[in-house]
Amino acid sequence: MRFSFIHAADLHIDSPLAGLRLKDAAVAARFAEAGRRAVEALVAETIASKASFLIIAGDVFDGSWKDVTTGLFFVGAIGRLHREGIPTFIVKGNHDAESVVARDLPYPDSVRVFSASQASSIALESCRVVLHGRSFPNRHIDEFVATYPARHDGWLNIGVLHTSLDGRPGHAGYAPCSVDDLKRFGYDYWALGHIHAHEIVDRDPWIVFPGNLQGRGIRETGAKGAVRVTVEDGRIVEVAPIVLDGARWAHLTLDIARADAEDEVVARITAAIADAHAGAEGRPLAIRVTLTGATALHNHLVARREWLEEDLRARALRFGDDCWIEQLKVRTTSPPRPLAQLSSEDSLDLDQLLDATLADAEFAATLADLIETVRAKLPKDLQDDLVADNPQQTLADEARALLAGALS
């Protein structure tokens, strides 16, 4: 017997995009709708591929609903699967744990949500599949995986788990466990969630993160979606990614060390935007551009950054009204040489001036307090932009470049 199932995770329906909203509300609204379009694409693909069932390994929702329309949208989406006779199996993750989402709505009978009180097993006789899983009762879970049931011999065993697994970089430790912990169960497939990057961790047994369904910010670039798992004669023979996202993020990093003029820099960025837009295949696209390299244009680019950013936004709109420059970052450096001076008679040593200012203890303390105050008021997805080993020095470097660029 041959059949397939779909494994998805981290839908984060109606997740807010606060950082993008601050830049352009209309663009943010399009990206907010992308999450729902990705869910609709997941349902359509599950039906079109005649999948035997759908697994969602946690974080259907991003947290407690702002209003009931969030829940109604998801019920309506999986209602299509119910009418097609396709069952859905869900565990709740840290974002939609039972203690987090205050409101609930009744699902169709074909939807099975694993209990949060203890791990349990659900058998699907038609496929000779048994699924083992447990939902999060609250956000933080420690002793969790050890409670999963023993495998059922003679069946295809699937573990459904929302976990950080070995503490993946950039992710807090939720339901922590190791690959060896999972292998001890003897399951055939571990359908994991929580990590937003697609990864096949192991193939014996299969331990898979499908990644999130829709990128939510500039740190989640590239194609997003789910995976299709093909089973033949009781064995998994293929695990293939499926692209389902409704919008896309891209981060273009360009080394402009050899560029001699601003026009050349703009031309190179515009060409890279064209390539990224083509790769998005008609999806709304938000792009961050980061310039690197040691260049004589450094001070000029820092001084003109905001003007250039708006110029690039206008150029990006030539490719489509949903092609947006999220941000231009100038991370270039000046080549080793003396800084620009006002004139040979009345020179200004910017290095000495700024170093003396930073050496003032009262000024340094005031600057540190200001940085922390601004950072605390920013949306979480923008706070990392103010994180640096020495933020005062970073600001001083930018001030130096701004002054030099203006003077030149």
Question: Apex CA 191: angle with CA 185 and CA 192, to 5°?
Answer: 100
Residue ranges covered by each domain of the chain: 2-243, 247-337, 346-408
Instruction: Pick the more confident residue, 32 or 118.
Output: 118
pLDDT tens-digit readout, 151-207: 999 999 999 999 988 765 555 567 788 899 999 999 999 999 999 999 999 999 999
Query: Rounded to whole angstroms, how far apart are CA atoms 16 and 216?
Result: 8
| The predicted structure's pLDDT at residue 339 | 47
| The predicted structure's pLDDT at residue 167 | 65
Average pLDDT over residues 337-353: 54
Q: Please name the fold of domain 2-243.
A: Purple Acid Phosphatase; chain A, domain 2 (3.60.21)
255, 269 contact by CB (below 8 A): no
pLDDT tens-digit readout, 246-270: 999 999 999 999 999 999 999 999 9
74, 13 contact by CB (below 8 A): yes
Query: Rounded to whole angstroms, how far apart are CA atoms 366 and 56?
Result: 48
Q: Collect all residues with Cβ–Cβ distance below 8 Å to 383 and sequence separation of at least 6.
A: 375
Q: Which of 14-28, 336-350, 372-386 has the highest mean pLDDT?
A: 14-28
Instruction: Pick the more confident residue, 206 or 396.
Output: 206
Q: Read off the pTM.
A: 0.82
| The predicted structure's pLDDT at residue 338 | 55
